Amino acid sequence: MRSGALDQIQTILGEPSGDAISGRLQTFWNAWQSVANRPGSSAPVGVLLGQATTLASTIATAYKALQSQWSQTSSQLTTTVSQLNADIAHIADLNGQIRTAIAAGGNANELIDQRNVAAQRLAKRAGGRVDIAGDNTISVSIGGIAVVQGTSFEQVRVSGGTQLETAGASPVGLVLASDPSGPALTPSTGEIAGLVSLLGAANASGTGGALAETTAHLDQLATGLATRVNAISRTGVSSTGATGLDFFAIGASPALSLTVIPADPSGVATGAAGAGKLDGTVADKISQIGNAAGSPDAAWSAAVVQLGTRADVESSQASLDSAALDSATAAQQSLESVDLDEETMNLLSYQHAYQGASRVMSALEEVLDQLINHTGHVGIT
């Protein structure tokens, strides 16, 4: 889940490439150097304005694509929670049917099989914990909060912001529909946990939701560009003698609002005040921003590297989890010929399906031990 989303973010950014942000930055600084090399000429300044506009557009386009991915992920979360609710209700209904059938002396194996399938789907979506009761019903909790108890059940709803920009102040999460102001449900595994983490807000350590973290870096890039370029631009003079000129403007959402102020070459400060029309020292200073310590380029490069590292880690973890699931499934299939409590056997084999591959062997040993001792308490994580 997270691995695929991080790959998609990397595809949106397209780094490294001449058409990506890093390439546009380099072209932008080169354009300033061309202006410095040909002081007094309007042609390179016209090229500069075009490159600056392209850079701003590239940043905004990336931000909008990430906004769209956030919205798609939010919709996917809503859909998955609806599917989870269907499983919760189905398990509660099957609990009642199983209890009635067994109490009447009937055979409930088919109903138990159906409940096992529903419990396995629930585990895949939200992890959880299952307890088998003496009346052959099961109770299910997610994040320590009960969602099924016998034939009674609770539905779950998504809470928090509905847009990337509002999720920081109102984090996305899960609550009981019957108690929306109550404690949050916090599944640590499963599809829903992955979706919620992707929708998380950025934080100071850079480990927040991948989408919000990346858009935060885009905002920081736009702010850094405008601040650095404008600071030097204000010290210079344009071809018409104007001073105190800003080159970029930004608004409340820097990445989306970064715009080029000059409408034509006459509005660009390229030389030092009093140095004459053939001076290009200000343009030269601006061209060096990209190579300076703590430059916007360096910050963006670090963000891209951080994203790549995070994607690699998630990809490796996804491979380990897949291997663990395959091992647990194989163990389940090999044990199905044993004449033991089928429900307990199936649920226990899925208890460890999404744990790291390094724990597979110990997990299987625990399954066998609990089966042999006829345990009645099962956890699905």
Query: Is the Cβ–Cβ distance between 160 and 167 less than 8 Å?
Result: yes
> What is the phi/psi pair of residue 182, to 5°?
-85, -170
Low-confidence ranges of the chain (pLDDT < 50): 332, 335-381
Cβ 223 vs Cβ 252: under 8 Å:
no
Rounded Cα distance between 289 and 36, Å, is 14
* pLDDT, position 313: 77
Instruction: For 19-37, write each residue's pLDDT tens digit.
Output: 999 999 999 999 999 999 9
Ramachandran assignment for 190, one of left (phi > 0), alpha (psi -120 to 50 degrees), beta (any other): left
Kindly state the tokens that stand for 88.
């919760």
Question: Given this model, what pLDDT does residue 315 score?
Answer: 60
pLDDT at 277: 85
Residue 325 lies in a domain: no
Which residues, in sequence order, are bridge partners of residue 130? 140, 378
* Position 222 in a domain: yes
Length reported for the chain: 381
**What whole-number distance in Å separates Cα of residue 194 and Cα of residue 8?**
15
Q: How far apart are CA 41 and CA 344, in angstroms?
A: 82
Q: Which residue has the tokens 């070459």?
A: 265
Which residue range(s) make up the domain with 182? 2-317
245 CB-near residues (< 8 Å, 6+ apart): 233, 234, 236, 238, 261, 262, 267, 268, 269
Contact 347, 130 (CB under 8 A): yes
> Is there a domain that residue 225 lies in?
yes
Determine, yes or no, domain membership for 330.
no
Give φ, ψ of 153 to 5 degrees: -150, 160
Quote the CA–CA distance of 268 and 261 in Å, as a whole number: 9
What is the residue-averaged pLDDT of the chain?
A: 86
Residue 352 domain flag: no
Residue 333 in domain? no
Output the CA–CA distances (angstroms, integers) from residue 37 to 41, 82, 230, in the order listed. 9, 62, 20
What confidence score (pLDDT) does residue 310 get? 85
**pLDDT of 197:** 95
The count of structural domains within the chain is 1
**Global confidence as pTM:** 0.81
Q: Strands 129-132, 377-379: parallel, antiparallel or unpaired by DSSP?
A: antiparallel
Residue 146, domain member (yes or no):
yes
With respect to residue 108, please indicate whether it lies within any of the assigned structural domains. yes
Give the β-pairing of 259-260 and 129-132.
unpaired
> Residue 4's pLDDT is what?
86
CB of 59 closer than 8 Å to CB of 21: yes
